[in-house]
């Protein structure tokens, strides 16, 4: 494996880079034009990013992806880096690798293609407007600049679309293969937990293994939450198992309303659940875990005239370079969960590596 796994996957070699640039007629003159455009972007960077996100927030469906302030800050920082790198070293494999990652990331978090392709068009329009404001009296120069700009945006869009379709195809092929294997080997075993209708432990472990491999291969963040309901035995003893089953089902409903469609949810055992957060680092995962903990604590657990207060303890662990198997990630999340339990319950703890 090289330093460019996505380029390897899509068979993008230096020869292919040359061919794609030649097809779009990207020349040295375009490189100079793009350098000028980057200077304008640098000067108007905050305005451009602000206008871009103001436009995105007009779509109700996108608000769900942009509802968290920390997520927006992280995405805006990424957007700034993207804008300032437009066309820079676009004859290098690293440029292609970075653009290919965009499609992979969008597909994994469940963002529909119509939104991010539309976003390219909006971004092109906003940047073009800022460039045009500086070349009002130089229409010929403006035309040449925007021609170069259109070429590089087209290249970036094509690369993002390629990875999106490839990732979708791979995901579908993986699901079909898993279904085939399950049919042959475990015809009598369902992938869903019968009570809560989330992944059972076996399928949960398979899914976590897949996401861990993706995280390691493409150097993308992935974080595991272990969620354990506090004093669940007391709830069963005091209110009965029927009410205890309701509590588990209600907890899953709260989880689903808090998480994204792409995130994994599974029943790890008894009153313990595992959640896999794709494209999520430890800091953001802690915020999500805190939000989930608070929603569980504030949610009404009332059924058939019975009502109980329910809380949860949550352990958080992220994939790091020394995590060489998914079991190690689970062990770390379990250690953090134990710390949350022993610290008084109803809290979130993040795994911290001990000092040597």
DSSP for 53-98, written as a single string = HHHHTTSHHHHHHT-SHHHHHHHHHHHHHHHHTTTTTTTSHHHHHH
> Helix, strand or coil for residue 197?
coil
Cα separation, 264 vs 37, in Å, equals 41
Helices 45-56 and 113-134, packing angle to 10 deg: 140
Q: Which of 51, 97, 211, 271 is catalytic?
A: 271
Instruction: Check: CB of residue 303 under 8 Å from CB of residue 248.
Output: no
Cα separation, 251 vs 299, in Å, equals 9
The answer to whether residue 290 is catalytic is: no
Q: Where are the alpha helices (DSSP H) in the chain?
A: 5-9, 14-23, 28-43, 45-56, 60-65, 69-84, 93-108, 113-134, 139-185, 201-218, 232-239, 241-258, 282-298, 326-342
Catalytic positions are 271
């Amino acid at each position: 494996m090289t330093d460019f796994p996505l380029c390897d996957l899509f068979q993008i070699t230096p020869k292919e880079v040359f061919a794609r640039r030649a097809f779009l007629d990207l020349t040295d003159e375009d490189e100079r034009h793009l350098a000028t455009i980057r200077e304008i972007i640098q000067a108007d960077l905050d305005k451009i990013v602000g206008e871009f996100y103001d436009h995105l927030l007009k779509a109700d469906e996108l608000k769900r992806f942009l509802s968290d302030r920390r997520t927006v800050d992280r995405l805006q920082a990424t957007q700034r880096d993207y804008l300032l790198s437009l066309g820079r070293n676009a004859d290098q494999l690293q440029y292609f690798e970075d653009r290919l990652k965009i499609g992979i990331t969008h597909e994994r978090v469940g963002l529909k293609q119509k939104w991010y392709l539309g976003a390219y068009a909006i971004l092109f329009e906003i940047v073009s407007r800022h460039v045009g404001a500086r070349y009002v009296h130089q229409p010929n120069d403006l035309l040449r600049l925007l021609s170069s700009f259109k070429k590089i945006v087209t290249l970036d869009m094509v690369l993002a679309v390629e990875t999106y379709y490839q990732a979708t195809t791979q995901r579908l092929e993986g699901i079909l293969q898993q279904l085939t294997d399950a049919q042959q080997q475990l015809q009598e075993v369902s992938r869903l937990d019968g009570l809560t209708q989330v992944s059972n432990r076996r399928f949960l472990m398979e899914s976590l293994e897949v996401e861990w491999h993706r995280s390691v291969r493409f150097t993308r963040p992935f974080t595991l939450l272990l969620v354990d309901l506090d004093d669940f035995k007391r709830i069963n003893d005091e209110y009965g198992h029927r009410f205890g089953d309701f509590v588990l089902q209600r907890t899953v409903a709260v989880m689903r309303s808090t998480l994204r469609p792409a995130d994994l949810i599974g029943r790890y055992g008894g009153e313990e659940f595992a959640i896999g957060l794709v494209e999520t680092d430890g800091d953001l995962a802690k915020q999500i875990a805190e939000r989930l903990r608070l929603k569980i604590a504030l949610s009404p657990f009332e059924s058939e005239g019975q009502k109980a207060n329910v809380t949860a303890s949550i352990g958080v662990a992220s994939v790091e370079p020394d995590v060489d198997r998914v079991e190690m990630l689970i062990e770390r999340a379990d250690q953090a969960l134990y710390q949350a339990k022993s610290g008084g319950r109803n809290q979130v703890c993040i795994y911290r590596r001990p000092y040597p």
